[in-house]
Chain A
Amino acid sequence: MNIFRFLADMSHVLSILLLLQKIRSSNSVAGISFKTQALYALVFVTRYLDVFIYFVSIYNTAMKILFLGTSFYTLHVMYKKRDSGTIAANTIDTFRVEFLLIGSLALALIFPSERIYSVTNILWTFSLWLESVAILPQLFMLQRTGQAESLTVHYIFALGLYRGFYVLNWIYRYYFDNWFSLTSFVTGIIQTALYSDFFWVYYQKVLKGKKFELP
């Protein structure tokens, strides 16, 4: 564990808390992509299968259970409140996730991490590719609506920050731990890059106290 990884995990936990707080405080799931949340649940299921295979640390196991639990809890809450959005979710959450699923599966089958062709390893690789693009339905939705509640915006920012910190962690581990995972690094760069436009708007608008509106 190093400081970057710890900050990454904390940003990830913060993003989940912000999302749940947004739903609670506005009593609405308007502006939140159900598809993105469903993809994250699938990411955690396919990645954390190893929780049954080996033990890393109490921290590791607890966080895996936390991420799995909160992702399904979020889906449950969103489903319950599905009619509370001012705009019906199905008219705006229209990103075609089939392409993300098929693309991620194809990449995992062609380039499994460490070239180990086991079911668990292919699913692990799939989860990394899928996570790298899982935010797209959410960003697509944001672009269509053009504006968002501040908690939603903070949620997306914390989520983007999380993988950005992981990239720093991987650079650190390459030099100081003699450890490197090409799959993690490449997907992490893609994931962080997808947020780059969003980060810029966040900096320009939110940090300067203006309402979040896309130009």
Chain B
Amino acid sequence: EPPLPKKDEL
């Protein structure tokens, strides 16, 4: 599974 880009927002 490819890495998930870090999502910093709600």
Interface residues of A (CB under 8 A from B): 5, 9, 12, 50, 53-54, 56-57, 60, 63-64, 67, 113-114, 116-121, 124, 166, 169, 184
Interface residues in B, total, Cβ within 8 A? 10
**0/1 interface trace, chain B 1-10, chain A, CB 8 Å (1 if under):** 1111111111
Interface residues of B (CB under 8 A from A): 1-10
Nearest-neighbour CB distance to chain A for B3, whole angstroms, equals 8
B10 and A64 contact, CB distance less than 8 A: yes
B9 and A116 contact, CB distance less than 8 A: no
Q: Which residue of B lies closest to A179 (CB)?
A: B8
B4 and A121 contact, CB distance less than 8 A: yes
Chain B neighbourhood of A5, CB < 8 A: 9
CA distance A184 to B8 in the complex (A): 12
CA distance A12 to B9 in the complex (A): 13
B10 and A117 contact, CB distance less than 8 A: no
CA distance A118 to B10 in the complex (A): 20
Q: Which residue of B lies closest to A44 (CB)?
A: B10
What are the nearest 9 A-B pairs in CB distance?
A118-B1, A56-B8, A116-B2, A120-B4, A63-B10, A118-B2, A121-B4, A114-B5, A54-B6
B4 and A53 contact, CB distance less than 8 A: yes
